[in-house]
A and B are shown apart, each in its own frame.
Chain A
Amino acid sequence: MMALRFIDVSVIYGEGTPFRKVALDSISVDFPAGQVIGIIGHTGSGKSTMVMLSNGILKPTSGKILLEETDIWEKPREIGRVRAKVGIAFQYPEYQLFDETVYKDIAFGPKNMGLEESEIDARVRTAAGFCGLDELSLKKSPFELSGGQKRRAAIAGVIAMDPKVLVLDEPTAGLDPLGREEILGGLIKYQKEKSNTLLLISHSMEDIAKYCDRILVLKDGKVYMYGTVGEIFMQAEKLFDASLDLPQITKLFIELKKRDLTENTDVYTVKYAKKEIEKLLFLTKSQ
C-alpha cells in the first residue's frame, strides 16, 4: 500500500514574472506505507516544496497528490482533514512554540482536531514520551527550555496529532550528536510502534544511512534517484554529480576497494564496517 503518491506533479513559482522558477518538474514518486524514507538533495532541489505539497500548504501547478489513494485536492474545502493526516515539522520548528506551557503547546493540535479531553491528555503524554520530554518540562513555559528541548516539544506537537504520514524537515539541524541521536531514535521508535510513514529530510548522510529504508534523491526539481539505502549509496559517482556526499565510512570502503582490500562497498554504518574490517584482517592473516 502506498501512503502518499505524487503523480506528475509540477510546481512553478512566479509564473509570468521574470523570477519564474520551476521548483518541481513533473515528478512521480510513491511512498510505501510503514517505511522511513529519506529525502536528500542539494539546496534548492525542491525538497521543501515537496514538504509543503504533502499536506496541501501549497497547491501543485499541475499533477496530483494522492493520500491513501485519494486526491488531496478533490474537495478543496476539506483540505483540513488532510492536514490532520499528514503532519509536518518544519525546519527550526521551535520558532512555532507559542503557548503558556509545553503541555498546552503539544495539546494544541489534538485540541483543534476536536478530540476528547482524556484522549488529548493521553496523546500529549505519549508524544512527549517519544520525544524524551519528562513530566517536569511539560509544566514549564516553552521559552524556559533549552534549544534541544524546544525542538522536542515542537516535534511532540506534531506527533500528538498522530498523523499517518509524518514529514520532518531537518529535525536535527543545529543539535549536538547526542541530541541528534535521541530525537531520531525516539522518532524511529514512534514510527515502528505505529507503523506510520516517515519522510525524513536531512543533510546528514550518516543519519540517512542509519535510519532510512529508502532514499529519494532530488536534483533540479526532478527525481534523480529513488531506491533502497543500498541501491542509492552504491552509486557514489552519481551522488557526487548531484553535489551530494556519502557517509564517511562508505567513502573509506570505496577507497579500500580501489586498493584491492575489499570487494564490499555496501557499508554505511560503523558497526557493520567493524565486522567487515575484522573479516578482512582475518582473511589476510589466514591467506
Chain B
Amino acid sequence: MTEEVSSRSGFGHLVEGFRRMAPLSLFVIVFGLAFGVAALQQGLSGLETLLMSGLVFAGAAQFATLELWGDTIPLVPLVAITLAINARHLLMGAAFYPHLRDLPAGRRYASLILLSDANWAMAMSGGSTAARLGILVGGGLALWTTWMIGTGLGVAFGSGIGEPERFGLDAIMGCFLLAMLVGDKRDPGVLLPWGAAAIAALAAMAWLPPHAHVIVGALAGGLVGLLLPPARQEATR
C-alpha cells in the first residue's frame, strides 16, 4: 500500500468507518450518560466532566479514577491507574502498526488519537489498509461523538438509566468485541494462543494487582503464538 493510494482514498474510507461504527456508537451514549452523572456526583463541574470525556476518551479509566477527584487530586494514583487500564492500547497500537507503517509520522500519530477497543477491534477484523485506517479514525470519531453526547446528556439532566444491566446494555461491548474477535476466522491454530490468553487473564485477576489481566493475558497469548510452529500466516492478523 503506497502513501499515494492511502491518502487519496482517505476521506471516503473515513466516512465509511464512521458509518460502520455508528450503530454500536449509539449505545455508547448510555455509558457517557452514566459517566456524566457519576462525575457530577463526585463534585466535578459540567465543563470539567465534558473536558475529561473529550480529551481522555477512555471510559474504563475515567470510571476507575473517578473517586480520586476531590478537593485535592493525588497525581500518582491518577497516572498509575490510567496507565494500568490503558496499557492495553500499547499492545493494540503495536498490533495495528503494519497498517500505519507507510504513513508519514504526523498522520501516523494523529490517527491514533481516538484509538479505543471498539474501533481497533473492527479495524483489525479485516479490509484494505485504507479501509482499516478509515475505521480506526472514522469509527473513533463516531465513538467520540456519542461519548460526548452521552456525557453532555448526563451533565445536563443529571439522571441516567437506572439499571442499564436490566436491558442487557452492559453486555453490548462484550458481545461486540467477541463478534469482532470471531470475525471470519476458520483457523483452529488461534485456539492455543487464545486459550493461553484466557487462562492467564483469569490467573492475573485472581493473583495480580487490579487491571493487570488484559496485559498479562495478551502477552501470554502472544508468547504462545511465537512458540507455535509458523504454519499460519493470515490466521490472527
A and B physically associate: no
